[in-house]
Amino acid sequence: MTGGPDLTVDRRVIVEVARQAALEVPEVLRIGRGGSAVRRRLSGAPISVKVRDRVVDVRVWLIARPGADLVATSERVRTTVGAAMERLLGLQLGTVTVYVDGVG
């Protein structure tokens, strides 16, 4: 992954930046999948990233806080994660897809 002419960024770093950015949104209880422990284990990682030519696409599964406006929360997560990708890693934002997989 390239974040600029002199920077190579490991995929795990991109995932961690996305996780930390999403957790900055107060309505996000946690990053992860909902349901039983078995379902969570079988569903895969709660954050996935694809990088092509310095453009990053991010998918985030999260659990929202009770009473959160889910549409507004999803938009805040998209905005926050996108800004972090651009500001901290120098990557252009393709898409940020947010899946609200439960309310805790």
Q: Give me the pLDDT at residue 5, please.
A: 57
Whether the predicted pLDDT of 55 surpasses 60: yes
Q: Which pLDDT tens digit goes with each residue over 32-51? A: 998 888 887 888 899 999 99
Q: Give me the pLDDT at residue 56, please.
A: 95
User: Which residues form the domain of 33?
Assistant: 2-103
Averaged pLDDT, 5-20:
88
* Average pLDDT value over all residues in the chain: 92
* CATH classification at residue 17: 3.30.70.1350
Across 17-55, b (16+ Cβ under 10 Å) vs e yields: bbbebbeebebbbebbbbeeeeebeeeeebbebebeebe
Instruction: State the total domains in the chain.
Output: 1
Whether the predicted pLDDT of 2 surpasses 60: no
Q: What percent of the chain has pLDDT over 70?
A: 93
Name which residue leads in pLDDT, 8 or 103. 103
Averaged pLDDT, 82-95:
95
Query: CB of 53 within 8 A of CB of 62?
Result: no
